[in-house]
Amino acid sequence: MVIAITPAKAADEQTYTQPFQNSTTTLSGNSITANTYFIKMDYWDVKQATLNLNYQVSQLTNGDTSDITVSINGVKFYSFRPENKSGLQTKSVDIPTRLLSGTNNIKISGQILNSDGSKAEVAQTPANWFTLYSGANVNFRYVLKDPEMAIKSFYDHFSGPDTIVNHNSVISVPKQATNDELTASMYALAGYARVITTENNQIPVTTFDTSKAKKADYQIVMATYQHLPKKYQAAVSRQDVAKHAVLKTIYDGNKHVLLVTAATGKDLEKAARFIANAELMKETSADTKNVSAATQTFTSDLQYQGSRKLTSTGDQITGPKHQESTYFVNLPTDRTNADGSKIRVHFRYAKNLDFTRSLATVYVNGKPIGSKKLTAANANNDQLTVNLPTGQSLGNSFVIRVAFDLEMKDQSDSDNAQTPWAFVEPDSRAYIKSKPVTDILFSNYPSLFIKNQSFNNLAIVRPKTLSDSDFTTMTNIFNLIGNFAQSNTGSIQFYTKTPSKSVLREHHVIAFGTPANNKFIKSLNSKLYFKYNKKFTGFLSNEKLSIESAYGQTVGTNQLLRSPWNKRLGVLVVTAAHSRDVAMASTQINFQRNIQQYTGDAILVDRDNNHYNYRFKKHKNAEAKPTVTQTIHKHSALAIYLGLAFLMIVVIAYALFLMFRKNGQRIGKGGRSYEKQSSDK
């Protein structure tokens, strides 16, 4: 759990606990290694950093002890020997602050030693002897540095994990924002959602007059110029926004504002795309930035090109016996692996191995898929290429482990832990053929609405009049979508009324609200899995759930439909009879940890925080239009049968033709002979 204490003035000391992203991991081998990462914000003056570990060591044989070493950014700074007992153990270690950088790598190494008198040597180990539990973290004690007027300084503070956890970051818009202003605010929210490191907190989008906006120390004020409060219009003139949008920092004591305004909604959306580009925001050292139609705001090209590097700098592996290096491969969220994928590992290793027993093995998600023996002849330049299992979907992320069994001819005579060794070269790659994931299920959400890591033509149909609950719903929806969208180049457009048929045929649709404040949802009632009663005051029972009439008025639903206007597209409907219950339903689609609980196409949430998962669709896939190649492949057997049938018809027809021709010649000869005989008479 993220803990942030004492949100006080900048001069006061604060604490922040940053949890590691690791899951519980069990390690085996006589020498084990686990890596994890954490960040330190540049605006922290760190006084103390404490590493907190939760682990378990399997009971060892008499005379065996385990030795654990902790390193940060390649520098060893602490070693200890866990107690030889079963059960959970904890350890708190102070990290030297001089070794901290912006992004930090914690490496935990361990080995089992066999003590024989005064001599200690690496021992054969039991399987799975060390378990590192989730919940490990680093606790910081620090003093905040005041932000500078530069936009990049505001960006760092606004997006900082401690700022967000303490609810000190907010995006605000006019009370009844226009569709263009809402579109701009969602671009901005999505841009921050993709870079923030907190898993359980988000940046709310709200209106100028709410307590959230007034309490926040860091605020992005976003509106067209005519909708700005007068105090902000005084900071930027109408002439300043005549030809372009303006970004400007405005500080008043402990309140820090980034004003984002423009004369038109189109220019405001352009400015929002600038804000959603972390690289541009971190590079802007001025306190004012003009963004015109000609300003390049697109993010770096992140499209998947068919392969992924396993390591950018190469990985050194040292020590005898079983050693491993782990790599994580992520595909775009809207894709999964296809048949024909392979992994190529290029490596070298020491020449003093026992090559009769030394191996290299590649694992995918814990399963071995290929190995080879190491040889002295290839020690300086070896490689292993393995094919991924066919017909097996690995999803859009999986783990590759490269393991070396580095056996020595006589390890007992060597006490050098740096020998033997192996090195994984930086040109090692995973060549992953991919295919789109088209399942219209929450197990594929929000990937369904993402294409090439950006928004996939989203039409958002919202209530005409927005309440505080509606802003909460919007924030929840776009926090998760933004977390998956790695590019700011996609399309979002808000609608108050039912979009045109041409828009519906070409866009994924997200509709939220009640039937009373969103007529589009009312028109979809016959398509919903959980349908409203005739008065639209509550949900009716269906084949999945019996719903008591009063209960049906107090539940919220998320429903993923196949688009009635285009079978290849999806429609997300977040709805309830009351706006508060719509917001309640949206809490299940705001973070990855929540959405991963659901695999169906409908979620129901009640006011007692009970939530249920249902599957209504018999066919989960969107009906994507097949390519010519896919069509031929799908109907290849039929084509073969038709071809054979056609060939048989041709053969039969030709045989009949020859038969009739032969008979015709006989008849012809017989006729001529008869005529000749007749003439002789």
pLDDT band at 392 (very low <50, low <70, confident <90, very high): low
pLDDT band at 28 (very low <50, low <70, confident <90, very high): low
Q: Where are the alpha helices (DSSP H) in 179-313?
A: 179-193, 211-215, 230-233, 265-275, 278-283
Q: What is the mean pLDDT of residues 498-523?
A: 97
CA distance 255 to 258: 10
307-432 matches 442-614 in fold: no
pLDDT at 614: 97
**548 touches 538 (CB < 8 A):** no
Fold of 442-614: Chitobiase; domain 2 (3.30.379)
Q: What is the mean pLDDT of residues 595-607?
A: 95
The model's pLDDT over 477-503, given as tens digits with 9 standing for 90+, comes to: 999 998 888 788 889 999 999 999 999
The yes-or-no verdict on residue 580 having pLDDT over 70 is yes
Q: What is the mean pLDDT of residues 240-249?
A: 97
pLDDT at 134: 79
pLDDT at 340: 73
How many other C-beta atoms can be found within 10 angstroms of the C-beta atom of residue 369? 16
CA distance 20 to 70: 15
Give the CATH class of 151-291: alpha beta
Q: What is the mean pLDDT of residues 210-214?
A: 95
CA distance 423 to 349: 6
579-586 helix and 468-484 helix, angle to the nearest 10 degrees: 20
Q: What is the mean pLDDT of residues 52-75?
A: 78
pLDDT band at 182 (very low <50, low <70, confident <90, very high): very high
Question: Do you find a cis peptide bond into 446, omega within 30 degrees of 0?
Answer: yes
User: 301 is written with which tokens?
Assistant: 């090209």
Q: What is the mean pLDDT of the chain?
A: 85
The yes-or-no verdict on residue 611 having pLDDT over 80 is yes
Identify the residue whose tokens are 């970051």: 169
pLDDT band at 652 (very low <50, low <70, confident <90, very high): confident
Residue type, 630: Q
Per-residue HEC secondary structure of 533-585 comes to CCCCCCECCCCCCCCCCCHHHCEEEEEEEECCCCCCCEEEEEEECCHHHHHHH
The model's pLDDT over 291-337, given as tens digits with 9 standing for 90+, comes to: 999 999 987 654 445 677 888 778 888 888 888 888 877 665 445 55
pLDDT at 492: 94
Q: What is the mean pLDDT of residues 135-158?
A: 95
**577 touches 553 (CB < 8 A):** yes
DSSP letter at 621 equals: B
Q: What is the mean pLDDT of residues 70-94?
A: 89
The yes-or-no verdict on residue 78 having pLDDT over 90 is yes
Domain made up of 307-432: CATH architecture: Sandwich (2.60)
Sequence-distant contacts of 501-505: CB under 8 A, at least 24 apart: 501/565, 503/459, 504/459, 504/563, 504/565, 504/566, 505/565, 505/566
CA distance 194 to 159: 11
Cα–Cα distance list, 345 to 17, 339, 389, 667 (Å): 37, 19, 17, 79
25-27/130-132 β-pairing? antiparallel
The yes-or-no verdict on residue 193 having pLDDT over 60 is yes
> Could you tell me what percent of the chain has a pLDDT over 90?
58
The model's pLDDT over 215-227, given as tens digits with 9 standing for 90+, comes to: 999 999 999 999 9
Q: Residue 279: exposed, middle, or buried by beta-carbon count in 10 A (0-12, 13-18, 19+)?
A: exposed
- For the chain, give every domain's residue range: 3-144, 151-291, 307-432, 442-614, 636-681
Q: 186 Cβ partners below 8 Å, 6+ apart?
A: 205, 460, 474, 478, 482, 492, 494
pLDDT at 457: 93
Q: What is the mean pLDDT of residues 675-680?
A: 40
The model's pLDDT over 633-647, given as tens digits with 9 standing for 90+, comes to: 445 566 677 777 888
Q: Where are the alpha helices (DSSP H) in 29-178?
A: 151-158, 161-165
**Three-class DSSP category at 597:** coil
Q: 262 Cβ partners below 8 Å, 6+ apart?
A: 224, 225, 241, 244, 245, 246, 268, 270, 271
The yes-or-no verdict on residue 561 having pLDDT over 90 is yes
pLDDT at 302: 46
The yes-or-no verdict on residue 581 having pLDDT over 90 is yes
Q: 521 Cβ partners below 8 Å, 6+ apart?
A: 461, 511, 513, 514, 515, 573, 575
Total residue count of the chain as it appears in this document: 681
Q: What is the mean pLDDT of residues 128-154?
A: 90
Higher pLDDT, 88 or 152: 152
pLDDT at 444: 85
Find the range with the poorest average confidence among 69-73, 96-100, 413-417, 553-557: 413-417
CATH number 2.40.50.140 given to 3-144: no
CA distance 676 to 681: 9
The yes-or-no verdict on residue 540 having pLDDT over 80 is yes
Cα–Cα distance list, 253 to 258, 350, 607, 646 (Å): 14, 62, 41, 86
Global pTM reads 0.75
Q: What is the mean pLDDT of residues 428-452?
A: 81
Find the range with the poorest average confidence among 315-324, 523-532, 571-580: 315-324
**141 touches 40 (CB < 8 A):** no
Higher pLDDT, 647 or 595: 595
pLDDT at 664: 62
pLDDT at 225: 97
458-461/508-513 β-pairing? parallel
**155 touches 281 (CB < 8 A):** yes
The model's pLDDT over 254-273, given as tens digits with 9 standing for 90+, comes to: 999 999 999 999 999 999 99
CA distance 7 to 26: 37
pLDDT band at 231 (very low <50, low <70, confident <90, very high): very high
Q: Buried b / exposed e across 166-180, counting CB within 10 Å, b at 16+?
A: bbbbbbbbbeebbeb
